[in-house]
Structure 1
Amino acid sequence: MTHIKFNHSPLPKSFGGLVEDILNGGLNKYVKDDFLTNDYFTTHPPVNIVETPEAFLLDVVAPGFSKEDFKISADEKAITISAEKKTETKNEGDKQVRREFNFKSFKRSFTISEQVDAGKINAKYDNGILKVTLGKKENKQDAPKEIVVE
């Protein structure tokens, strides 16, 4: 009978082992593989969100799309931004046909505040960045009323 020893523990036994694994290219064990691919940012585009007194501003980094590829929908609780692009490249040579299909898409949803006015949402796509403006509702407060103490 042959005994086989496996030494594949999920984490190294010491800090030195962890550092050695990272330096020897073992980072894939600790970081999700999707993050290390070129398609990570096309399936999970980074978003910056800024709040101003008048609106919330969302900047979505999405290069390689056109404005027709985007679909934005909003209700009273969430806004969903998605994009889908299908392209086909065809090169013909002598007795050889080569086709490459390219497909990229993403979908991100964000919970929105009840301060957002659905009628004041607009979007613009420029230089690979989708800029979505979520206008806030106007807070109409009554003018302060002075109360006289008697």
Structure 2
Amino acid sequence: MTLVKFNPDLKNNGSLLPGFNDVFNSIFNDTFFNDRLVSRVPGANISESEDYFHVELAAPGLKKDDFKISLDRNVLNISVEQQADNSETKKNYSKREYSYSSFVRSFTLPESANAEQIEAAYTDGLLKIDIAKREEAKAVRRQIEIK
């Protein structure tokens, strides 16, 4: 037997079969399915300034030593593989959402990136990677005089 959540506020929501939509809402809004549908990979922001490309990865709860950053040809790989902490197993969680055991994010660098000048720093749950641009790729700016 399966229990189906029913929302009486939506009992007459234009459907010919009242409660029919509640069956699907209870299935797809249940945390059992949502936890498996949602990717457990940290989000990334990619921006560009005049001299650098910037990659920011939101990964709270990790340590600097958990990250492995590598460059293979033109692809920047960021990976994390955490070992299970035995002290955490004594807790009885009713829901646990911010647990990254391992992930890999890969970014293809543009041809204008200088692969020899890449710097990374991890502070306050944010991994920041700065990738220098090649000199020929930097924007040339100058003031043009009007005659």
TM bucket normalised to smaller: 0.5 to 0.7
TM-score in terms of structure 1 length: 0.61
Larger radius of gyration, structure 1 or 2? 1
Which 5+ residue runs of structure 1 have no aligned equivalent? 1-15, 92-97, 142-150
Q: What per-residue deviation string (whole Å, max 9, x for no partner) do you get for residues 82-101 of structure 1? A: 1111132249xxxxxx599x
Q: Does 1:104 align with 2:101?
A: yes
Which 5+ residue runs of structure 2 have no aligned equivalent? 1-13, 93-98, 139-147
How far apart, CA to CA, are the structure 2 residues paired with 1:134 and 1:46?
Answer: 18
TM-score in terms of structure 2 length: 0.62
The residue number in structure 1 matching 2:142 is none
Q: Which ranges of 4 or more aligned residues in structure 1 deviate by more than 4 Å?
A: 38-41
Q: What per-residue deviation string (whole Å, max 9, x for no partner) do you get for residues 13-60 of structure 1? A: xxx55xx7379634628xxx4xx329956x311000001111110110
The residue number in structure 1 matching 2:119 is 122
Q: How many residues align?
A: 114
How far apart, CA to CA, are the structure 2 residues paired with 1:26 and 1:62?
Answer: 30
Secondary structure class of the residue paired with 2:106: strand
How far apart, CA to CA, are the structure 2 residues paired with 1:56 and 1:127?
Answer: 21
The residue number in structure 2 matching 1:48 is 45
How far apart, CA to CA, are the structure 2 residues paired with 1:59 and 1:140?
Answer: 22
| Contact preservation (8 Å) 1:76, 1:114 | no
Shift of 1:140: 8.1
Shift of 1:124: 0.4
Given residue 65 of structure 1, which amino acid in structure 2 is its aligned partner? L
Q: Return the structure number with greater helix share.
A: 2
Shift of 1:139: 1.1
Q: 1:104 to 1:40 in 2, by over 3 A?
A: farther
Shift of 1:76: 3.4
Given residue 60 of structure 1, which amino acid in structure 2 is its aligned partner? L
The residue number in structure 2 matching 1:37 is 35
Q: 1:140 to 1:104 in 2, by over 3 A?
A: closer
Q: Return the structure number with greater strand share.
A: 1
| Contact preservation (8 Å) 2:112, 2:137 | no
